[in-house]
Structure 1
């Protein structure tokens, strides 16, 4: 793609480093760039033709047709291209369920106790997993990495950039986003094979219910001790569930069947936490209930076979049914169940099967960010948010379009090489610490 410069070019190697973990991850390279002349889809507002997106020091500062580009800022010519925010994968396991590593890279499920509330996904994330590179190829710049679904309570999730550092800590958007929980076949199978609680659906619900009752008691005693100035012994698991009860963390509920979703709603009513349905294979059959209660659904993965009984009603058109009923939806690959770079292609197929295209783009961006409390950082091209920008060769919902330039906090981290060959390999991912002026 042709590129213009004004005054000097600011290379990533000379950009400043973040000093405030509240604004950007420590160690993340913050760049400045102006993407000019493209068809800009901010998602949170109306598309703008022949527009400029200006990112300064890693943050979007202006979007529009009359943006003045400061001297010294790199200018990327996006004429004839589409410009969107980086996509957000709301439910992934990259780094904790590594590709091509077998047993050595399988750390998503600690299935030695049904209550994993003390566990944290970040402690198992390997940023060298190929899934992070695949994400950039598909225009995905942020992902919420979650424990697996083997336990009724799986542990805390973490929101990450898909590029940014030699360690996972340098890619963190937010350490504590939600707690992963599972209903249905998975925990029933894991513990049923061992002939221990929970081996039935009612047992799974009982484990979750008891854990929350214990957390309520713990929080009351903790607060009373604090008020009296007395010492109190901490319990990491109960601290996690107390944070869910206080509304500080969302409750990410793995569930497929409608009856399991009903159980999720029942538990949320009992304890008053913020519920987000994950997968929701059969959610369309109770779409009106979910819409009335404003419970969002992270739908998918879609590119799978009906590999177990609770997936028998899997249908891509269900996403459109949910959206038309008024349910707020996001889309997931459940990477590596479906490769994360196929996230946008799932949206494309959902549009083919009846999902409104504007809703499809929101389901890849602002919706997942809102569901999990990350929309103050990511999800749209809005001044003040992170400068995660993707230049597409055309409409991203057209399966022939590709991500040509991917910027994370203003730093170009992936570029398509038209002269290269080899499909997924025909692109350049910026190595950590590498000069990347192309």
Structure 2
């Protein structure tokens, strides 16, 4: 057993911790409170003068499939041989020795979702994993955690320039709808015993059966509305990834009950879809009651700037509580792993960070990061 005493900070769920003791057993938070009896022989850490938070969560990254510092050889995130590749899986391309994982741990990020890129209309399956480890299968906590899809400029550019569909936004939507219809037919044929196994349709079937959501790259407002139209047509669960123009239709998003991954807002306006990019999107989503998370989209913005992004969100209208939830408890809900991580509660994984000061002060640094009770 371990004990962290004199803990002050955020619990991830919107409440502050003030001079409490946290007991950890078997890698889980065991008890949290004041005047706890610490069993004899317990390894004890004094957090006096430090600031405590749950481990941070980035819901949308390409860690390990778009490796840093090695160029083309490490770019395993876009299988651009076809416009729809639902059969591929991010777990099969992750290199746990990517330097980005070390950067994540050093900056307090303990959990990430790793997904294919946005070159394809359907990019493949994604997974959620801890940022410490050398064997991906032992790092994973949810696999699959969703199926990647993309709208807008990226699939049009990657495939349209090669002279194949999609060339237009109509073509993007048509490919996605066609694959979903073909999957409906496949499911019926499998039940009737008239179809052989097909990996592409098997993984799409998880979306239609609501085992995982379709997580769709959509920046522009019209693309977001197209995604919601397809959600209604096929009665599937979706999340909106990036949601750059979400401020233009926040109440409409709220009506559809979707979760949003917002970011990376620290980028320049490098393409047309980002022309209305700004920190004002997050307060608009919050006001409308749209649940959101903040992402770096690593390596678009380096993973060590997840906390920096939250600081910028506070500077531009979010409360510290809202911003912290967006990279802890709300992020965990976005990924469907809220029973394991995201807040300091008995029974959850003991993933936490000790900071030199309030993490919303850019001068503060993550001094120690723990995953399942072990310093990493």
Structure 1 and Structure 2 fold alike (TM over 0.5): yes
Does residue 336 of structure 1 match 2:336? Answer: no
Aligned counterpart in structure 1 of residue 142 of structure 2, from 143, 167, 174: 174
User: Which residue of structure 2 aligns with residue 133 of structure 1?
Assistant: 102
Does residue 201 of structure 1 match 2:164? Answer: no
Q: Secondary structure at the match of 2:367?
A: strand
Partners of 1:238 and 1:405 lie apart in 2 by: 44
Query: Highest Rg: 1 or 2?
Result: 1
Is the contact made by 2:14 and 2:322 (CA closer than 8 Å) also made in structure 1?
no
Partners of 1:248 and 1:58 lie apart in 2 by: 28
User: Which residue of structure 1 aligns with residue 277 of structure 2?
Assistant: 314
Spell out the pairing of 1:103-118 with structure 2 (5 A cutoff): 103-118=72-87
Aligned counterpart in structure 2 of residue 270 of structure 1, from 209, 215, 233: 233
Spell out the pairing of 1:386-405 with structure 2 (5 A cutoff): 386-405=349-368
Spell out the pairing of 1:33-182 with structure 2 (5 A cutoff): 33-44=2-13, 46-164=15-133, 166-182=134-150
Instruction: State how many pairs are aligned.
Output: 376
Q: Secondary structure at the match of 1:128?
A: coil
Is the contact made by 1:44 and 1:382 (CA closer than 8 Å) also made in structure 2?
no
Does residue 250 of structure 1 match 2:213? Answer: yes
Q: Secondary structure at the match of 1:400?
A: coil
Q: 1:138-180 CA distances to partner (integer Å, 9 max, x unpaired)?
A: 110000000000000000001010002x221121111110011
Aligned counterpart in structure 2 of residue 212 of structure 1, from 180, 184, 188: 180
Is the contact made by 1:320 and 1:356 (CA closer than 8 Å) also made in structure 2?
no
Following TM superposition, by how much is the alpha carbon of 1:73 offset from its aligned partner in structure 2, in angstroms? 2.8
Is the contact made by 1:254 and 1:278 (CA closer than 8 Å) also made in structure 2?
yes
Following TM superposition, by how much is the alpha carbon of 1:40 offset from its aligned partner in structure 2, in angstroms? 3.8
User: Which residue of structure 2 aligns with residue 418 of structure 1?
Assistant: none
Change (3 A) 1:147 1:94: same
Is the contact made by 1:317 and 1:355 (CA closer than 8 Å) also made in structure 2?
no
Q: 1:107-140 CA distances to partner (integer Å, 9 max, x unpaired)?
A: 0000001111100001000011010011012110
Is the contact made by 1:40 and 1:51 (CA closer than 8 Å) also made in structure 2?
no
Where does the alignment leave 5 or more consecutive residues of structure 2 unmatched?
none
User: Which residue of structure 2 aligns with residue 291 of structure 1?
Assistant: 254
Is the contact made by 2:63 and 2:298 (CA closer than 8 Å) also made in structure 1?
yes
Is the contact made by 1:258 and 1:283 (CA closer than 8 Å) also made in structure 2?
yes
Following TM superposition, by how much is the alpha carbon of 1:336 offset from its aligned partner in structure 2, in angstroms? 0.5
Following TM superposition, by how much is the alpha carbon of 1:373 offset from its aligned partner in structure 2, in angstroms? 0.8
Where does the alignment leave 5 or more consecutive residues of structure 1 unmatched?
1-31, 226-230, 414-438
- How large is the Cα RMSD of the aligned pairs? 1.2
User: Which residue of structure 2 aligns with residue 12 of structure 1?
Assistant: none
Q: Secondary structure at the match of 2:44?
A: strand
Following TM superposition, by how much is the alpha carbon of 1:232 offset from its aligned partner in structure 2, in angstroms? 5.0
Partners of 2:100 and 2:339 lie apart in 1 by: 25
Following TM superposition, by how much is the alpha carbon of 1:46 offset from its aligned partner in structure 2, in angstroms? 2.0
Partners of 1:114 and 1:42 lie apart in 2 by: 43
Does residue 411 of structure 1 match 2:374? Answer: yes
Q: 1:380-402 CA distances to partner (integer Å, 9 max, x unpaired)?
A: 11111111011111211111111
Change (3 A) 1:296 1:377: same
Q: 1:44-98 CA distances to partner (integer Å, 9 max, x unpaired)?
A: 2521210122221111111111333333332111112221110110000010000
Partners of 2:352 and 2:95 lie apart in 1 by: 24
Is the contact made by 2:228 and 2:256 (CA closer than 8 Å) also made in structure 1?
no
Q: Which aligned segments of 4 or more residues in structure 1 are displaced greater than 3 angstroms? A: none
Partners of 2:261 and 2:43 lie apart in 1 by: 37
Following TM superposition, by how much is the alpha carbon of 1:209 offset from its aligned partner in structure 2, in angstroms? 0.3
Q: 1:159-216 CA distances to partner (integer Å, 9 max, x unpaired)?
A: 010002x221121111110011100000000111011111111101111001100111
